Amino acid sequence: MTRVCIAGAGVIGSLFAGHLARVVDVSVLTRREEHARALNEHGLRVSGRAEFQAEVTAATTPGALPEPDLVIVASKGGDVDTMAGQLAGHWPGAILMTVQNGIGADEIVARHGGWRLLTSVTFMSGTRHSDTHVEYVLDTATWIGPSRGTTPADARTVAELIVSSGLRAEAFDDLRPAQWSKLIFNATINTVAALTGLRHDPHFAATGDPHDLGLLVRDLMDEGKAVAAAAGVTLGEDPWEMNVLATQRGHRHYPSMLEDVDARRRTEVDMITGSLVAEAHRLGVPVPLHEAMYRLIKAKEASWE
Amino acid sequence: MRVCVVGCGAVGSLFAANLATLEDVEVWAFDAARAHVDAINRNGLRLVGAGEVTGRVRATTDPAELPACDFGIVATKAMHTAPAIAATAHAFTGGCVATVQNGIGNEEVVATHCERVIRGTTFPAGKILEPGVVQWDVKGDTTLGPFEAAPAPLEEIERLADACTRGGMPTTAVADARGPQWRKVIFNAATNPIGALTGLTHGRVCERPALRALVSRLVDEGKAVAAAQGIELDSDPEELIDYAARPEIAYDHKASMLQDVEARRQTEVDYLNGGIVEFGRRYGVGTPEHAAIWALVKGMEASWTQQ
């Protein structure tokens, strides 16, 4: 692979673009004209865990960019459909890789064209300081697995490319077991934390009294497991065991959705619980408790918006 | 007739002050708040707002001062029922004790100390403005009936209802008081914690269709638990919920549980959602949504002390 296009240059897209530009030709598809112009004129600065300046080619339409081997679709979850619609009819030989939270982004892209697809979930994070400056904060991995028309070897090729650029990545023969374990874990722990104000601590694993939070956590996870089973996915790690282990470590994790609520920001509940509920509806699996959590979080957001 | 109000907060004060306007009723109030008690003894107990009343009430923080009473009216927050009735029960050995508290399970607690118990449900509401002065926000009806396991005689219940009505608190004595009580419990359990968890007022909860549907799921679970006990609701809690959402009624009202959460006070969730879950378990009715809400509110209370 020698040409990569990053479609959508928020934090994650910018981190990919900056790093990959050190090893391959990188183009960037942006939403705003001035963003593309700034990238063409000034390049992209990466700071934080690495410090360098990258050269990229940017435009707001795919027709203005060279045909890539790989497209990393890095727009926000809610914008994937629009972005894929824009790519429709272009670059039939390229592999498209989605990196959104939750699940189902690759299926949205699939509706817009016959490209070969990879699916991934990324745990890296950063801060976007400007259109041309991104700070690399958390150097956690991106997990990559095959989706429509691709093989584990394709996933490994892309993972190796990403690793060679200075980011962390790991290829899976089948990403879904890991992705679904993570999704069920996140949809439960994040929403419970955001609504109660509790960091992830032993309350989440307590089941002795009828009002203990662990019972709700387990019920939410059981709903999620039923959706995974209906989707034909055998889970990787058991989300309940992940929960119990995490609460025993003595480090009370501050879930990002609670962080968002404390800062009165809009949360990622649409990408996380929203995608689980959408998948449950598609498969006809009842998830009343996740629906309740989703509605409560959306209402909580509305209380300060 | 001698009546003692146990727990002279907003609701207790509405009963105490109104009953005290009657020539034939002597009213006592037992409350733990020293400043409130002193103000009542100095200036009388004053209501402002929906009704302007000043009642001559004998108030005390010392249960030993209470004389023998014909009636007790327990109006503490539900979690304080046990210590309050344990301290005052000696005054009611020859009398009947009514509870007008939120939630379910209060009668059972009262009955561990008193022989003749009255199951009560009241809709008037208010708040304490300053010691001795209570804002009367909403007028409303009260229903009293015998508590089945330790029943007060119906003629005694009628005597208390008559006094309350004459005093300005319209009250009906009925043979089965569970219907109105469960209607109110279902209303409170389906709406209060939603306000507490989201920070939204009652009206804003109701205008979000998906959230309003969640409220209805909670109502349905509550109705199923009531039906399993053979309780006929006196009217549909849904009507009360929609009525309260009207701008001129309680659109902007912050549920008492939201007020508790904002002040980081322990809530009454154990007696609302917890009560519905517990009765559901006893009668074999599943209540997963109430169990979830109960756990979330308890988790929220726990977060205030998380290090």
Q: Which member of B184, B223, B254, B298 is catalytic?
A: B184
Report the alpha-carbon distance of residue B211 to residue A208 in Å, rounded.
30
A208 touches chain B (CB under 8 A): no
User: Chain B partners of A304 at a C-beta cutoff of 8 Å?
Assistant: 199
Helices (H) and strands (E) in chain B, counts: 12, 12
Beta carbons of A166 and A152 less than 8 angstroms apart: no
- pLDDT greater than 70 at residue A56: yes
A263 touches chain B (CB under 8 A): no
Report the alpha-carbon distance of residue A206 to residue A221 in Å, rounded.
14
Beta carbons of B47 and B53 less than 8 angstroms apart: yes
Report the alpha-carbon distance of residue A76 to residue A60 in Å, rounded.
16
A114 touches chain B (CB under 8 A): no
- 3-state class (DSSP) for residue B287: coil
- Average pLDDT on A237-245 reads 93
How would residue A13 be classed by pLDDT, with cut points 50, 70 and 90?
very high
Q: Is the Cβ pair A303, B277 closer than 8 Å?
A: no
Residue (of A192, A189, A266, A281) closest to A230 by Cα position: A281
Q: Is the Cβ pair A211, B291 closer than 8 Å?
A: yes
Classify strands B58-60 and B71-74 as parallel, antiparallel or unpaired. unpaired
Which residues have a Cβ under 8 Å from the Cβ of B275 and sit 6 or more positions away? B103, B104, B105, B185, B189
User: Average per-residue pLDDT in chain B?
Assistant: 96
Which tokens in the block code for residue B24? 């034939």
B175 touches chain A (CB under 8 A): no
Cα Rg of chain A (Å, integer): 20
Q: Identify which of B213, B277, B303 has the shortest CB distance to residue A197.
A: B303
Reply yes or no on whether B127 is catalytic. Answer: no
Mutate to test the interface with A, among B271, B298, B300 (most CBs of A within 10 A): B298
The dihedrals phi and psi of B233, each to the nearest 5 degrees, come to -65, 140
Which tokens in the block code for residue B151? 């029943």
The dihedrals phi and psi of A141, each to the nearest 5 degrees, come to -80, 165
Beta carbons of A7 and A75 less than 8 angstroms apart: yes
- The string of DSSP letters for chain A reads --EEEEE--SHHHHHHHHHHTTTSEEEEE-SSHHHHHHHHHH-EEEEESS-EEE--EEESSGGGSPPPSEEEE-S-GGGHHHHHHHHTTS-TTSEEEE--SSS-HHHHHHTT---EEEEEEE--EEEEEETTEEEEEE---EEEEE-TT--HHHHHHHHHHHHHTTS-EEE-S--HHHHHHHHHHHHHHHHHHHHH---BSGGGG--SSTT-HHHHHHHHHHHHHHHHHHTTPPPSS-HHHHHHHHHHSS--B--HHHHHHHTT---STTTTHHHHHHHHHHHT---HHHHHHHHHHHHHHHHH-
Positive or negative, the CA dihedral A124, A128, A129, A133 is positive
- pLDDT greater than 70 at residue A247: yes
Report the alpha-carbon distance of residue B37 to residue B19 in Å, rounded.
17
Per-residue pLDDT of chain B (307 residues; tens, 9 = 90+): 999 999 999 999 999 999 999 999 999 999 999 999 999 999 999 999 999 999 999 999 999 999 999 999 999 999 999 999 999 999 999 999 999 999 999 999 999 999 999 999 999 988 899 999 999 988 899 999 999 999 999 999 999 999 999 999 999 999 999 999 999 999 999 999 999 999 999 999 999 999 999 999 999 999 999 999 999 999 999 999 999 999 888 888 888 899 899 999 999 999 999 999 999 999 999 999 999 999 999 999 999 987 5
Q: Is the Cβ pair B281, A210 closer than 8 Å?
A: yes
Residue (of B295, B293, B301) closest to B193 by Cα position: B293
Mutate to test the interface with A, among B79, B191, B197, B264 (most CBs of A within 10 A): B197
Helices (H), B89-236: 106-111, 154-167, 178-198, 202-206, 209-228
Instruction: Write out pLDDT tens, residues A89-136.
Output: 999 999 999 998 778 889 999 999 999 999 998 888 888 999 999 999
Mutate to test the interface with B, among A191, A192, A196 (most CBs of B within 10 A): A196
Report the alpha-carbon distance of residue B123 to residue B164 in Å, rounded.
14
What pTM did the predictor assign? Answer: 0.85
User: Chain B partners of A303 at a C-beta cutoff of 8 Å?
Assistant: 198-200, 204
Shortest alpha-carbon distance between residue B300 and chain A (Å): 4
Q: Is the Cβ pair A302, B208 closer than 8 Å?
A: yes
Q: Is the Cβ pair B288, A288 closer than 8 Å?
A: yes
User: Chain B partners of A305 at a C-beta cutoff of 8 Å?
Assistant: none
A296 touches chain B (CB under 8 A): yes
Q: How many beta carbons lie within 10 A of that of residue B76, not counting itself?
A: 24
Report the alpha-carbon distance of residue B65 to residue A35 in Å, rounded.
79
Which residues have a Cβ under 8 Å from the Cβ of B223 and sit 6 or more positions away? B186, B233, B237
Residue A201 has a pLDDT of 94
B270 touches chain A (CB under 8 A): yes
Residue A283 has a pLDDT of 95
Classify strands B117-122 and B125-130 as parallel, antiparallel or unpaired. unpaired
A201 touches chain B (CB under 8 A): yes
Report the run of H or E that residue B144 belongs to, with start and end.
strand B142-146
User: Chain A partners of B211 at a C-beta cutoff of 8 Å?
Assistant: 295-296, 298-299
Residue (of A41, A44, A36, A47) closest to A8 by Cα position: A36
Sheet containing A44-48: give its strands across: A52-54, A44-48, A133-138, A125-130
Report the alpha-carbon distance of residue A260 to residue A282 in Å, rounded.
29
Which residues have a Cβ under 8 Å from the Cβ of A245 and sit 6 or more positions away? none
Report the alpha-carbon distance of residue B90 to residue B68 in Å, rounded.
8
Beta carbons of A222 and A290 less than 8 angstroms apart: no
Q: Is the Cβ pair A215, B295 closer than 8 Å?
A: yes
Beta carbons of B48 and B135 less than 8 angstroms apart: yes
CA A74, chain centre distance (Å): 9
CA B48, chain centre distance (Å): 20
